Chain A
Amino acid sequence: MKQKKFNKKRLHKILNNWELYLMLLPAVLYIILFVYKPMYGIQIAFRDFQFKDGITGSRWVGFDQFRRLFNSYWFPIILKNTLTISILNLLLSFPLPIIFALAANELRNEKVKRTLQTVSYAPHFISMVVMCGMVVMFTSPSSGIINKAIEFFGGEAIAFMQKPEMFKWVFVLSGIWQGTGWSSIIYFSALAAVDKSLLEAAEIDGASRLQRILYINLPTIVPTISIQIVLAVGRLMSLGQEKVLLLQTSPNLNGSEIIATYVYKVGLEQYSYSFSTAAGLFNSLCNCILLITANTITKKITKQGLW
C-alpha cells in the first residue's frame, strides 16, 4: 500500500516536471544515438579484431589483450611514468589557475586586468608542435636560456631533454606555461558571482585584502574548485601521447614512455585495435575508480559532488 502511494507520488513528480525532461531530451538523444549506440565496440578489447570478421564476429580472446599489456617488460615503467607525470601535473597545474584568478581579480584597473587575461590565455592557441619547439630551444644545454641562467649563477648546464628524471618537470612546467591562463577562465567566471556588497562591508570593517580573498572570494568559488578537482582526478590516467612524443628523446625514454605512447608504438608496424582498445579500457576503468573515490571524498568535505 505504502509502496503504491510512493510510486504514484513519484509519477506525479515526473509528470509535473515534464518540461525539465523535455529540456534534457536533445542532450540525452545525442548521447544515446551518437555515443551509446556505437558502444558495442568496447568488446574489441576482448576479441582478436579482424576487419573481415567484424567486431562481433572476431575471435573472443577474453583477457589476452590485457595480459599482453600487463606482461610487457615496459608495463611497470609506463604505468609509473603515467602516474608520476599525471600526479605531478595535478599537484602543480591545478592550484595555479586558482591563485592566478584570485590575484588578477584584485587588479583595480579593468584595462590592465583584461589585457593580462587575454595574454595569459593566448598560449592555449599556439600549436603544440611550436610550443614544444620552444621548450626544446630553451632547455638546450649549449644555447638554451635556462642553462645560460644556470651557468650565470655558477651552476652547471643540465641536459634537460636527455635525463629521464627531468622529463616530468619539463612536461608539467611547459603545460602550466601553456594552460594556466586558459584553465583560470572558469574561476574568473565563478568570481563574478562574488557578492560585491559583502566585499564592501568587509572593507569598511577593516578586513585586509588577503582576508577578503580568503573569507569572501575563495569560499564563493569553492563549489567550482571542488567539481574541477573531482573532474581532474577522474582524468588522471588519460595522459595523451601527442605532447609526450614531441618531447621524447631516446635518452629520456625511461622517464617519458607512458601508456599512450607505448600503445602507439606497438601499433606503428601493424594495427592492433584490440590491444589499443584494451589499453584504453584499462585507463578508463582506473579513471572511473579515481573519479568515484574523489567524488566521495569531496562530497564528504564540501557537500558538493557529481551525484
Chain B
Amino acid sequence: MRKSSKFMAVLLAAGMILSMVACGKEPVTSTETKVQETEQTVASVATEPEEDLYYNKEGYPICDEPITITMSGASNTTDWDNTAMHKYFEEKLGIKTDSTELQKDALKTQYALMIAERSMPDVMVKSEAISKEQVNMDGEAGYWLDLSQYLDLMPNLVAFWEKYPELKAYHTTDTGAIYSINRVNASESANVSGMIYYNKALVEAVYPDPIETVDDFYDALVAVQKAYPDKIPFSLAFNSQNSSRGDVILRTAFGIESRDLDYSLYKDDSNEVVLGETTDGYRAYLNFMNKLYEEKLLDNDCYVYTEKEYRANINEGDYVFWADSSLSVNNSTVSTDPTDYEMIPALTSEYQDELTFLLAHGLSPGSRIFVSADTKYPEAICRLLDFLFTDEGIMLTQFGIEGEHYELVTDKYGYKHIDTAKFADTVNYSSAGNWTQQAVVNYQAMCMWWGADGAWYDELTIEDAKKMVEDTEITPSYKSNAMLKIEMDAVKDVRKIAVPLNYTNEEATNRSTLYADISNYIKSNKASVITGSVDFNDDKVWSSYLDTLNKMGLEDLMKIEKAAWARLDARSK
C-alpha cells in the first residue's frame, strides 16, 4: 500500500509539472502579439505626414517640445540624469533622460530579463557585458532598432564612417543592419598600450647593448639576474588584462600577430586566416617562456598575482623588467621621472624578422549604445546619436563644456592640452578625473570617439618629442608619451589589427561551445607549458596537443572564422 502511494505521489507531481507547462503558453503568446504591435507602430510612424514632426530634421534643439527618453546601463553609482552632460542634452537638445542605473554585475541578467519581458529602455549605454553578437542577434529578432534605416538623419556619423570604412564594416551585420554603435579610441597613443618596461639604470649597468631580439632579451635577463639577486628579472601577471598585454610584445616577436591572448586569429603572410596557437612560432614562444620560468628569470608567481599585488610590486621596484599597458598607469613611477625607464615595443626572432608592433583596433568594449525597437522617438534618438559625432559632441561626452569643465592650454611647443584642474571639485570627489567622470560626463557613457586629448600625441613630431624628453619642466605623463613616440618611430612595421568578426546566429550558436572548449584548452595548456608540467620540446607532446585541438573541432571552428572574416573583407570594401 505504501509503495503505491509513493508512486501516486510522483505521478501527481509529474502531472502538476505538465499542467504548468501547458499554463506557460499564455504569457508567451502575449509577447508575440506585442512584437506585431510594435512593428505596426514603427510602420505607421514612417508613413506619418511630414508636417507634424515632433523633432527637427536638422539643427538644434532636436526637439522644440522637450521629450523624455528612458536610458539604462551599468552604473558607477552616480545619478546619471544629474550629470552636466545629461543636463546639456536636456537644455540644448530638448531631450531629457530618465535613467535607471543597473549594477555592473547584474547587467547581463537584467538584459536577459528586459528582453524576456520586452521592457527595454529607449536607449542602452555602457553595456560592456553585452556582446555585440548578442545585440545583433536580438536586434534581428526585433528587439533593437536597426539604425541603418535612419542614416539620413545621421550625416555626421555617415561622414565619419566614410573616413573609417573598417568601423562601418564592424558595426554592420551581414544583412546590412546596424544595431549598435561602439566607442572608438581615436588617437594612436590610446592604441599602443602594452609594452615591456625596464629600469634603465639597472639594466644599462650590466647590459649596455640594445635589446632587439628575443635572445638579446634573454641575455639581458640573465645579466640582470646575476647582478641583482634580490630582484625579479622579469614579471607579468597573466590574471591582469593590463599587464598580460605586455605578453603581446613577446608573442608578436614569435610571429603571432594578434592581440588576443588565448585565441589568436590573424592572416599570415599568404593571407590565410590562421590560429596563432597552432603555429611553430607559438611553440617556440612557449618554450622560450618556459625557459624563463624554469630559470626564474620570469616571476614564478606570474599566474597567481592579482592586478593589485602586481601593481604594488612594480611600485616597490621589485622588478627590473615588467609588462604593463603604460608607464603612467603606475601612479608612483609617474611622479618620478619617466626617463628613468625604457620600453621595449617590439622584438625580433627567427619567426619575426622585422620589429613589428600591433596597434589595437581601438574599438573599446567599454561603451556600446543600442536603441530599443519599441521606442516612441527613434528619429530624435538617432539625431542624438549623430550629435555624439559632431566636434561639440565629441568634446562634451569626454570632457564636458569648455570654460565650465575644462580649458584648452597650449604648451611651449605649441601643442594643445586639456586642463581640468581649474574647474574640478576636489572636495567632494577624490580627484579631478573622478569629478569629470562622476559629475560631468557620466563615465563617458556616451562618448563614441574617445581620446581627443591624445590628438596632440598624433601630431607630435619626433624633433619635439626628443626635446620634451630632455625637458625637466614638462608633465611626466606627457614626457612618457613623448618617449613612446620616439620608441614607436624605431619600430619598422606598425599596423592595426583587424576589427572583431561578426557571426551569423547559426555560426554563433555552433561557435559558443567550440570556442569555449578550444580557448580553454589552449589557456590551460599554455599555462602548463610555461610552468613546466607539459614539455613542448618533445615533438610527441606538441603533436598530441595539435591532435587534441583537432579532435575538439578546430576545423569546424576555423571554417566559421574564415567565413566570417571573408564577409568582413567584403563589407570593408
Which A residues have a C-beta under 8 Å from some C-beta of B? 36-43, 48, 50-52, 54-57, 68, 72-74, 133, 136, 140-142, 159, 161-162, 249-251, 253-254, 257, 262, 265-273, 275, 307
Asked if B112 and A271 sit within 8 Å, CB to CB, the answer is yes
Residues of B with C-beta under 8 A to A142? 300-301
The 28 listed contacts between A and B (C-beta, < 8 Å) are A36-B16, A40-B21, A40-B24, A51-B115, A51-B116, A54-B28, A57-B28, A73-B551, A74-B517, A74-B521, A136-B304, A136-B306, A159-B304, A162-B303, A249-B238, A250-B238, A250-B303, A251-B527, A251-B530, A267-B512, A269-B511, A269-B512, A270-B133, A270-B512, A271-B134, A272-B509, A272-B512, A275-B513
Q: How far is the CA of A268 from the CA of B523 in the complex (A)?
A: 16
A54 and B300 within 8 A (CB): no
Besides the known contacts A251-B524, A257-B520, 19 further A-B residue pairs in the complex with CB atoms under 8 A apart: A39-B20, A40-B20, A40-B24, A41-B24, A42-B21, A54-B32, A56-B24, A72-B517, A73-B521, A73-B551, A142-B300, A249-B303, A249-B304, A269-B133, A269-B515, A270-B508, A270-B512, A272-B509, A275-B512
- Chain B positions 27-62 with a Cβ under 8 Å from a chain A Cβ: 27-29, 31-32, 35
The smallest C-beta distance from A254 to any residue of chain B, in angstroms, reads 6
**B301 and A141 form a contact (CB under 8 A):** yes
Closest Cβ–Cβ distance, residue A38 to chain B (whole Å): 8
- The smallest C-beta distance from A299 to any residue of chain B, in angstroms, reads 12
| Residues from chain B with Cβ under 8 Å of A272 in the complex | 509, 512
> B452 interface residue, CB < 8 Å from A?
no
Contacts of B531 in A (CB 8 A): 159, 162, 251
User: Is the pair A36, B20 in contact by a Cβ cutoff of 8 Å?
Assistant: yes
Write out the residue numbers on chain B whose beta carbons fall within 8 Å of the beta carbon of A52: 35, 141-143
The total of Cβ contacts below 8 Å across the A-B interface reads 131
For B520, give its contact among A68, A74, A141 (CB under 8 Å): A74
B137 interface hit (Cβ, 8 Å) = yes
Q: Mark B78-101, 1 if CB is under 8 A from A, else 0.
A: 000000000000000000000000
How far does the alpha carbon of A36 sit from the alpha carbon of B31 in the complex, in Å?
Answer: 22
- The answer for the CA separation of A36 and B238 in the assembled complex, in Å, is 45
**Which of B28, B303, B508, B517 is in CB contact (< 8 Å) with A161?**
B303
Alpha-carbon distance between A272 and B531 when the two chains are bound, in angstroms: 33
Are B528 and A251 neighbours in the complex by a CB distance under 8 Å?
A: yes
Query: Which residues in A have their C-beta under 8 angstroms from that of B116?
Result: 51
B28 touches A55 (CB 8 A): yes
The interface centre, meaning the residue of A136, A257, A270 with most chain B CB atoms within 10 A of its CB, is: A270
Determine whether the beta carbon of B131 is less than 8 Å from that of A269. Answer: yes
Report the minimal beta-carbon distance from A70 to chain B, rounded to whole angstroms: 11
**Does B516 make an interface contact (CB < 8 A)?**
yes
The 4 lowest CB-CB distance pairs between A and B, nearest first, are A54-B28, A40-B24, A250-B527, A253-B524
Would you call B540 an interface residue if the criterion is a C-beta within 8 Å of the partner chain's C-beta atoms? no
Q: Which of B20, B115, B303 has the largest number of chain A CB atoms within 10 A? A: B20
Residues 517-547 of chain B, each 1 if its beta carbon lies under 8 Å from chain A, else 0: 1001101101110110100000000000000
The residues of A that contact B22 with a CB separation of less than 8 Å are: 40
Interface hits, B244-267 → A, CB 8 Å: none
Residues of chain A contacted by B6 (CB below 8 angstroms): 307
B509 cross-chain contacts in A, Cβ below 8 A: 48, 270, 272
Shortest distance from the beta carbon of A69 to any chain B beta carbon, whole Å: 8
Task: Give B residues with C-beta under 8 Å from A.
Answer: 6, 16-17, 20-25, 27-29, 31-32, 35, 112, 115-116, 131, 133-134, 137-138, 141-143, 238-239, 300-301, 303-304, 306, 508-509, 511-513, 515-517, 520-521, 523-524, 526-528, 530-531, 533, 548, 551-552
Q: Enumerate chain B residues within 8 angstroms of A140, measured Cβ to Cβ.
A: 301, 304
Q: Is the CB of A40 within 8 A of B133?
A: no
Cβ of A267 to closest chain B Cβ, rounded Å = 8
B277 CB to nearest chain A CB (Å)? 13
CA distance A253 to B112 in the complex (A): 29
- Residue numbers in A under 8 Å from B552 (CB-CB): 73
Q: Is the CB of A57 within 8 A of B32?
A: yes
Closest to B304 in A: A161
- In the complex, what distance in Å separates the CA atom of A267 from the CA atom of B131? 11
A257: chain B residues at CB < 8 Å are: 520, 524
A36, B29: Cα distance in complex, Å: 20
Q: Which B-chain residue is minimally distant from A137 (CB atoms)?
A: B309
Whether A50 contacts B23 in the complex (CB less than 8 A), given A68-B513, A250-B527, A253-B523, comes out as no
Chain B residues, Cβ within 8 Å of A270: 131, 133-134, 137, 508-509, 512
* B28 pairs with A43, CB closer than 8 A: no
CA distance A270 to B515 in the complex (A): 11
On chain A, the residues within 8 Å of B513 by CB distance are 68, 72, 266, 275
Closest chain B residue to A74, Cβ basis: B517
CA distance A50 to B511 in the complex (A): 17
- Alpha-carbon separation in the docked complex, A73 to B520 (Å): 10
The answer to whether residues A159 and B521 also contact, given A250-B526, A253-B527 and a CB cut-off of 8 A, is no
CA gap between A254 and B27 in the complex, in Å: 43
Say yes or no: A36 contacts B131, CB within 8 Å. Answer: no
Query: A40: which B residues are within 8 A, CB to CB?
Result: 17, 20-24
Shortest A71–chain B CB gap in Å is: 9
Instruction: Looking at the assembled complex, report how far the CB atom of A129 sits from the nearest CB atom of chain B, in whole angstroms.
Output: 11
The smallest beta-carbon distance between A247 and chain B, in angstroms, is 10
Indicate which residue in B17, B301, B530, B551 contacts A36 across the interface (CB closer than 8 Å).
Answer: B17
A249:B239 contact, CB within 8 angstroms:
yes
Smallest CB gap from A262: residue in B = B516
Using Cβ atoms and an 8 Å threshold, which residues of chain B touch A162? 303-304, 527, 531
Q: Which residue of B lies closest to A69 (CB)?
A: B513
Residues of A within 8 A of B20 (CB): 36-40
Q: Give the complex CA separation of A85 and B305 in angstroms.
A: 24
CB distance from B32 to the nearest CB of A (A): 7
Distance in angstroms between the alpha carbons of A250 and B137 in the assembled complex: 31
A73 near B548: Cβ-Cβ < 8 Å: yes
A78 to chain B, nearest CB (A): 10
Cα A49 to Cα B510 with chains together (Å): 14
B17-A37 in contact (CB<8A): no
Q: What is the bound-complex CA distance between A249 and B527, given in angstroms?
A: 9
B1 CB to closest chain A CB (Å) equals 9
**Nearest-Cβ distance from residue B444 to partner chain A, whole angstroms:** 24
- A265 lies within 8 A of B520 (CB): yes
Q: How far is the CB of B557 from chain A (nearest CB, A)?
A: 12
Instruction: Name the residue in A37, A41, A136, A249 with the highest tally of chain B Cβ atoms < 10 Å from its Cβ.
Output: A249
Q: Which of A38, A54, A251, A269 has the most CB of B within 10 A?
A: A251
In the complex, how many angstroms separate the beta carbon of A133 from the nearest chain B beta carbon? Answer: 8
A54–B524 alpha-carbon span in the complex (Å): 37
Compute how far the CA of A271 lies from the CA of B524 in the bound complex, rounded to whole angstroms: 23
Determine how close the nearest CB of chain B comes to the CB of A13; give it in whole angstroms.
14
Name the distance in Å between A295's Cβ and chain B's nearest Cβ: 12
B184 shortest CB reach to chain A, Å: 21
Please name all residues of chain B whose beta carbon is closer than 8 Å to the beta carbon of A307 when the two chains form the complex: 6
Q: Report chain A residues within 8 Å CB of B133.
A: 269-270
- Is there contact, CB below 8 Å, between A250 and B524? yes
Query: Most chain-B CB neighbours within 10 Å: which of A39, A51, A72?
Result: A51
Q: A51-B116, A265-B520 are in contact. Are A43 and B142 (CB under 8 A)?
A: no
The chain A residue with its CB closest to the CB of B232 is A142
Contacts of B527 in A (CB 8 A): 162, 249-251, 253
Distance from A56 Cβ to chain B, minimum over Cβ atoms (Å): 5
